[in-house]
Amino acid sequence: MSTLAKTNFQFPKQQSVYKGKVREVYRLENNQMIMVATDRLSAFDVILPQAIPYKGQILNQLSCFMLEATKSIVPNWLIAQPDPNVSIGHTCETFKVEMVIRAYLAGHAYREYAAGNREICGVALPEGLKENDKLPQPIITPTTKADVGSHDEDISKEAILQNEIVSKEDYEMLEKYTYQLFDLGTKMAEERGLILVDTKYEFGKTIKGDIVIIDEIHTPDSSRYFYADTYKELQEQGKKQRQLSKEFVREWLISQGFQGKEGQQIPTLPEEFINEITQRYIELFEKITGKEFRKAEVTDINHRIEQNVLEFLANQE
C-alpha cells in the first residue's frame, strides 16, 4: 500500500514550504497556498512512525466538504481542490492560537478535571461531573499553536489579550466565528445521528485583512464525535461512549505506556491496528457526509499530486 508520508515539490513561483504535523504548505508568489494533506498521524503532538493509508485524502475531502457547507456563515481560505489530497487557497497569516470549543467533558478536559483541576483556560467547571457529561454550555478553551515537536499549551483569553498574542478586536471575531461554526457543526452532526463533542478551529488573516477559517474543520483529527442513539444509555451506565474520533489511537498509545512525555518511546503500530485506523477514518467520512468514500489511485501519490496541481496552476494563467 502506497502512502504519502512526506513531499518535496518545487512548484512554479514557489516561495516557501512549511511542514506541519500532518499538512505541508507551499506558498506561491501570487498570494496562494498549496496545502497537501499527508497520511501522517499525530497524537499527543507527536508524529507517529507509520503513515495511515488514505488518511490524507479523507481529511482533505472531509474538510473541503465542511468548508463548503459553512462558507455562508464564516468565510474560509479555500479556492480549489485539484487533487484528493490537496487544497489551494489564499495565503494567510495564521493566528498563534487554536480555538478549541467543548460541549462535553471529554479527552484532555476530562483528564484535567480528573486530576482535580476545576478551571481550564480560565473557564470554571462545576463540581460533580463525570467523564463525557454534557457541560452547562459550550466553552472555548484556547491553546497556543505549537511548532512541530512542541506541545500545544492551554491558555486563557485573558492571557492571550494581556500578552497581545491576538488583539481584542480580532479575538472577539475569533470567538464569534468559533461559536457559529460549532453551532452549525453540531446541527450537521445531529442530522447524521452524531454528537459533536469538541473540536478546534484555526484562523488566519488574508492580505486584505479578512479573518478566515483555515486548515481542517470537523474532521476526526480535529474533532470528537459520539453516536447519539446510545449516548444517554451508556452515560447512565457509566460505560465508555461509542465515538468517531482518533481518541481510540490515544487510548491505544496510553495502553502502550506512551503519552508524548519526555523519555517515552513511540510504539510501533501493528499492521492490523493501522488497517483499523483507516477503516475508522472512512467510517467517519461516510457517516458525516452521507457519501461513499472512493479511494484514490495510490500507486504513485507524489506524481499524481504534482500533475494535478501543475494542471490547475497552468489553467489559472
Look at residue 1 in the predicted model and tell me its pLDDT.
Answer: 56
- Same domain assignment for residues 287 and 228: no
With bands split at pLDDT 50, 70 and 90, how would you rate the model's confidence at 151? low
Tell me the percentage of the chain whose pLDDT exceeds 90: 84
- The total number of residues written for the chain in this structure: 317
For residue 109, what are the domain limits? 96-203+215-249
Look at residue 44 in the predicted model and tell me its pLDDT.
Answer: 86
Distance CA 75, CA 96 (A): 19
Distance CA 90, CA 212 (A): 10
- Spatial strand order of the sheet with 32-37 comes to 14-19, 23-28, 32-37, 86-90, 78-83
- Same domain assignment for residues 128 and 242: yes
The position carrying cell 508520508 is 5
- For 157-174, the pLDDT digits (tens) are 999 999 999 999 999 999
b/e 290-312 (16+ beta carbons within 10 angstroms → b):
eeebeeeebeebeebbbebbeeb
3 state SS of 235: helix
With bands split at pLDDT 50, 70 and 90, how would you rate the model's confidence at 219? confident
C-alpha distances (whole Å) from 127 to each of 116, 118, 130, 138, 142 are 10, 7, 9, 16, 22
Q: How many CB atoms lie within 10 A of CB 148?
A: 12
- Same domain assignment for residues 167 and 301: no
Distance CA 285, CA 283 (A): 5
Q: Is the pLDDT of residue 155 over 70?
A: yes
Q: Is the pLDDT of residue 118 over 90?
A: yes
Asked if the structure places residue 42 within a domain, the reply is: yes
Look at residue 244 in the predicted model and tell me its pLDDT.
Answer: 80
- Same domain assignment for residues 81 and 117: no
Number of domains comprising the chain: 2
Q: Check: CB of residue 125 under 8 Å from CB of residue 183.
A: no
Asked if the structure places residue 8 within a domain, the reply is: no
Q: Check: CB of residue 115 under 8 Å from CB of residue 105.
A: no
Asked if the structure places residue 61 within a domain, the reply is: yes
Look at residue 150 in the predicted model and tell me its pLDDT.
Answer: 52
Residue type, 189: A
The position carrying cell 478566515 is 212
Continuous H helices in the chain: 55-70, 107-114, 157-162, 168-191, 228-236, 247-255, 271-289, 301-316
Continuous H helices in 213-262: 228-236, 247-255
Q: Is the pLDDT of residue 142 over 50?
A: yes
Cβ-based burial of 158 (10 A; exposed 0-12, middle 13-18, buried ≥19): exposed
Look at residue 149 in the predicted model and tell me its pLDDT.
Answer: 47
Look at residue 216 in the predicted model and tell me its pLDDT.
Answer: 85
CATH number at residue 291: 3.30.200.20
Give the pTM: 0.87
Residue type, 159: A
287-297: average pLDDT: 94
Look at residue 293 in the predicted model and tell me its pLDDT.
Answer: 97
b/e 271-283 (16+ beta carbons within 10 angstroms → b):
eeebebbbebbbe
Look at residue 221 in the predicted model and tell me its pLDDT.
Answer: 80
Look at residue 20 in the predicted model and tell me its pLDDT.
Answer: 87
Q: What is the mean pLDDT of the chain?
A: 93
Q: Is the pLDDT of residue 103 over 80?
A: yes
- Same domain assignment for residues 157 and 299: no
Residue type, 177: Y
With bands split at pLDDT 50, 70 and 90, how would you rate the model's confidence at 146? low
Cβ-based burial of 136 (10 A; exposed 0-12, middle 13-18, buried ≥19): exposed
Asked if the structure places residue 254 within a domain, the reply is: no
Asked if the structure places residue 208 within a domain, the reply is: no
Q: Is the pLDDT of residue 180 over 80?
A: yes
Asked if the structure places residue 259 within a domain, the reply is: no
